[in-house]
């Protein structure tokens, strides 16, 4: 607890997954995928409670075994493809009766390479300035965004390159939201219903290889590769 404010970790994990079947419980280096995120959250020196929101009893049991709390089972209407992450977190905050003055960190279970050090460093940035209301995990793009463009059906490259004859190092770096960490004051989140606020929101830069978001089997294999590489 920081200055009387409790810090909640919310881990959303529904049973359905179209691109990678049962990915949240799929074995990732001898542990269910979700267990890695739970472990990283439990080892944080700032987080007070680690809560898993799920619609699935099997995920709930794995989460409890891994040390997280599962104080409720998420309703089916918040567990289909159309349910928004915002609605899922709003529901979770209401169920756990979190104080609006508290803080929460959203940790997707599909980012197993996000470590406790990332969580604590991001929370440290958030906590050291009382005007900060939002921290978002971001990663640097490998290539200049100016090298990308839409293309017509005939595949013509005539207007593709907007900026020509520049080296990659001559472009301003661009970043992408990696989905690994979102930190917000609960009051601000409930007011704006968004994980990214327009004001008082700051990026937390992470190495791309440490913030892989697993969405399909290719992502899963890539995450396994970098996990082995770091060991």
Q: Give the chain's mean pLDDT.
A: 92
- List, in sequence order, every beta strand (DSSP E) within the chain: 7-12, 27-28, 31-32, 49-53, 103-106, 134-140, 175-185, 201-205
pLDDT, residue 147, reads 84
Class (C level, CATH) for 7-137+176-230: alpha beta
Residue 189 has pLDDT above 90, yes or no: yes
CA distance 130 to 119: 18
Assign 110 to helix, strand or coil.
coil
For 94-126, what is each residue's pLDDT tens digit? Answer: 999 999 999 999 999 999 999 999 999 999 999
For 122-164, what is each residue's pLDDT tens digit? Answer: 999 999 988 899 999 999 998 888 888 889 999 998 888 767 6
- Rounded to 5 degrees, what are φ and ψ at 206? -125, 150
pTM more than 0.85: yes
For 21-41, what is each residue's pLDDT tens digit? Answer: 889 999 999 999 999 999 999
pLDDT, residue 21, reads 83
pLDDT, residue 131, reads 87
pLDDT, residue 60, reads 97
Helices 116-128 and 33-42 cross at an angle (nearest 10°) of 50
Mean pLDDT of 72-90: 91
């Amino acid at each position: 607890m920081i200055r009387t404010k409790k810090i909640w970790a919310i881990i959303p994990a529904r049973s359905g997954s179209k691109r990678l079947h049962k990915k949240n419980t799929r074995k990732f280096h001898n542990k269910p995928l979700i267990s890695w995120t739970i472990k990283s959250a439990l080892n944080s020196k700032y987080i007070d409670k680690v809560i898993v929101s799920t619609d699935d009893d099997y995920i709930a049991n794995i989460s409890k075994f891994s040390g997280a709390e599962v104080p409720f089972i998420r309703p089916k209407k918040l567990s289909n493809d159309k349910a928004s992450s915002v609605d899922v977190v709003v529901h979770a905050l209401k169920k756990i009766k979190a104080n609006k003055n508290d803080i929460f960190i959203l940790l997707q279970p599909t980012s197993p390479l996000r470590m406790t050090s990332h969580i604590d460093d991001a929370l440290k940035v958030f906590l050291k300035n009382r005007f900060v209301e939002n921290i978002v995990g971001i990663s640097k793009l490998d290539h200049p965004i100016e090298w990308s463009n839409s293309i017509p059906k005939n595949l013509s490259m005539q207007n593709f390159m907007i900026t020509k004859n520049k080296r990659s190092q001559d472009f301003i770096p661009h970043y992408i939201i990696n989905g690994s960490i979102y930190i917000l004051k609960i009051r601000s989140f409930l007011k704006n219903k968004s994980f990214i606020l327009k004001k008082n929101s700051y990026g937390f830069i992470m190495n791309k290889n440490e913030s892989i978001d697993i969405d399909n089997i290719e992502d899963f294999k890539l995450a396994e590769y970098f996990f082995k590489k770091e060991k």
